[in-house]
Each structure stands twice: as C-alpha cells, then as structure tokens.
C-alpha cells in the first residue's frame, strides 16, 4: 500500500530548498535534491546537469550570490502534484550586483526590477529532481535599460505588478 499524497509535504520540500538557497546554505540546498538532478534557467540557458553540475552552478552562481538585500518573492499561484510543483511568483529586487544566472555579464544598474517567474520542480522520493525556471527576460531588460521597448511587444515591470495585484 502506498502512502496517501500529501500536497503540503510536497510543498514543504520545495520551500526547504528555496529557504536554503536564500540563506546561502549550499549543503542543505543540495541535500534537498536527488542524486541526479538538473536545473535550467530557460531564458539564459544556464544551470547544471547531474549532482556535480548542479552543485557547481549553485556554488558559483546562485546560493549566497544572487539575492540582493531587498529581494522579495511574492507567490501568485501554485499547482502541486505528487511528482511536480508549478510555482508562479513575482520576484522584485534592486539590481545592485551582477546576477550571473539571470543577467550574465551585466554590471549592476541600481534599477528596480519586478518580473513574473514560473518554477517547475520535479519531486521524486521526497527530493527535488529538477527545476525548470522561466521568467519574462524582455521586461527585465527594459527595466534595467538594456532594451528599448519602443515598437516592440514587450513590457516593463507593469505586467508583474499587475499579476501580483490580481493575485492578492
């Protein structure tokens, strides 16, 4: 007999993972993952494959490195299944440091950024098996001044603010 599906327990797995990332705790971050995970930040095509690849990515580009002091993660929606979590959120921060996974090679602009994100995390045996992370890169580039939206079908951070307001 298999145990009953517990969405809250499944959600807690991803929350522990994210909390460890935010705390700069590489050991706990990796302990929340399976033996052969993968991670891809789709707009920039960076991440890692396998335990070593994901560890290197987290160590060199994310855990303890990304999150400016004013980062705010506002949940919009979550869909939780036995083997997958789909999180929709708005991440806001001031671009005060290079963010290698999101804006590789872009020097800090000190401009505020608010962007919609979707994180799809696979779950196997109580651990994260993968993360596929999507965000509105065009709006981020507009907000930091690297993309002129004139004549283009792109927005600034208005869309993220609207999404956040509609989910409150």
Host H or E run for residue 72? strand 72-81
Distance CA 37, CA 17 (A): 13
Instruction: Write the CA distances from 97 to 51, 70, 76, 123, integer angstroms.
Output: 27, 12, 26, 32
3-state secondary structure of 39: strand
Domain assignments of the chain as residue spans, ordered by start: 7-167
Lowest mean pLDDT among 3-12, 21-30, 109-118: 3-12
Angle at 91 between CA 86 and CA 93, to 5 degrees: 160
- CB-count burial class (<10 Å; 0-12, 13-18, 19+) for 63: buried
Average confidence (pLDDT) over 66-72: 81
* pLDDT tens track for 128-168: 999 999 999 999 999 999 999 999 999 888 888 888 888 76
Token look-up 């929350």 returns 15
What pLDDT was estimated at residue 84?
95
pLDDT beyond 90 at 96: yes
- What CATH code is assigned to 7-167? 3.10.450.50
Residue 83 near residue 123 (C-beta atoms within 8 A): yes
């Amino acid at each position: 007999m298999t145990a009953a599906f517990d969405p809250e327990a499944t959600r807690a797995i991803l929350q522990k993972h994210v909390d460890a990332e935010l705390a700069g705790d590489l050991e706990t971050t990796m302990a929340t993952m399976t033996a052969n995970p993968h991670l891809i930040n789709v707009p920039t095509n960076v991440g890692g494959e396998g335990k070593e690849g994901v560890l290197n990515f987290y160590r060199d580009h994310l855990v303890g490195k990304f999150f400016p002091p004013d980062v705010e993660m506002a949940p919009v929606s979550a869909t939780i299944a036995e083997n997958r979590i789909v999180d929709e959120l708005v991440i806001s921060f001031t671009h005060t440091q290079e963010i290698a996974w999101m804006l590789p090679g872009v020097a800090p602009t000190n401009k505020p950024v608010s962007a919609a994100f979707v994180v799809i995390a696979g779950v196997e045996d109580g651990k994260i098996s993968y993360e596929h992370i999507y965000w509105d890169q065009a709006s981020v580039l507009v907000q930091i001044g690297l993309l002129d939206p004139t004549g283009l079908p792109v927005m600034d951070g208005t869309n993220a603010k609207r999404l956040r307001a509609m989910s409150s």
